[in-house]
A and B are shown apart, each in its own frame.
Chain A
Amino acid sequence: MKTLSRQKSFARRSFLQLGAAGLVATALPLRAAADAADADAAIREIFGDKPLNEGRVSVKLPPIAENGNSVAITVAAESLMSPDDYVRRIAIISPRNPIAEVAVFKLGPRAGKAEISTRIRMAGTQRIRAVAELSDGTLWHGSASTVVTLAACLIG
């Protein structure tokens, strides 16, 4: 009787472990892929199918946001902002919001400085991405993540 119950509990434990591992293994990559695909699709829709270069764009976000309804963000791109070398557009992309595109800003050589601050909504903890299109047509990418304690869209 004793051995039987031990066997039983062992079987149950291993079953649970298997189940949990299986869940983690299937759920994680699937969700991450869907998120990335949405954000990538939004970037392609805005800028066309061009390669993204890492760097030159910095995103400033608070490490923790208590309220996802209003999170301060600053996006800056390194550029001379001269008549022949300037930032044409800057896009803010959220991989987890219902609409991946948050805003697209059009700048020009007259901006003097390629930096924008605003407040955005965040539907949960995520890595916000920013893409800058320079006057030579190249795309540059930067990102920053924030832990959101209270997500937008769920409450008022």
Chain B
Amino acid sequence: MATIRIAAPDTASAGEVIELKVLIQHPMETGYRSGPDGKRIERDIIETFEVTYDGETVFEADLQPGIAANPIFTFYTRATTSGPIVFKWTGQDGESWSETHDLTVE
């Protein structure tokens, strides 16, 4: 299980633009490197990252091996209603990881 770190405010006022910062532990193996035995290391990357909040996808990313290992993203969203913000990562072989952050809008 990959370690996921999320930095997001717990409370916000309605209409406020909040910063979301997420990090997931993942090698993002490019498929261009060779291991100690000289053999090529197989490509293993996270392909999509999606953030759902208040019934809608508010942020989505299509990733390539050009994204560094342990991908970190900082982005913004407008606080609308109290509820969970769901972060979901999907790997190239369909495996996925998700994490939820509860936001209270005052």
Is there contact, CB below 8 Å, between B59 and A119? Answer: no
Minimum CB–CB distance for B86 against chain A, Å? 14
- Contact A111 B76, CB 8 Å, known A69-B69, A103-B67, A120-B67: yes
- Contact A116 B65, CB 8 Å, known A105-B60, A110-B80, A153-B30: no
B17 within 8 A of A: yes
Give every chain B residue within 8 A of A119 (Cβ-Cβ).
Answer: 67-68, 71-72
Closest to B15 in A: A112
B92 within 8 A of A: no
A99 within 8 A of B: yes
Per-residue 0/1 for B2-43: is the Cβ within 8 Å of any A Cβ (1 yes, 0 no)? Answer: 000000000000000110000000000010110000000000
Closest to A113 in B: B76
What is the interface size of chain B, counting residues whose CB is below 8 A from a CB of the partner?
29
Contact size range, A: 20 to 34
Is there contact, CB below 8 Å, between B56 and A110? Answer: yes
B100 within 8 A of A: no
- Contact A94 B66, CB 8 Å, known A106-B60, A106-B61, A108-B58: yes
Closest to A71 in B: B68
> For window 124-152 of chain A, which residues contact chain B by CB distance below 8 Å?
152
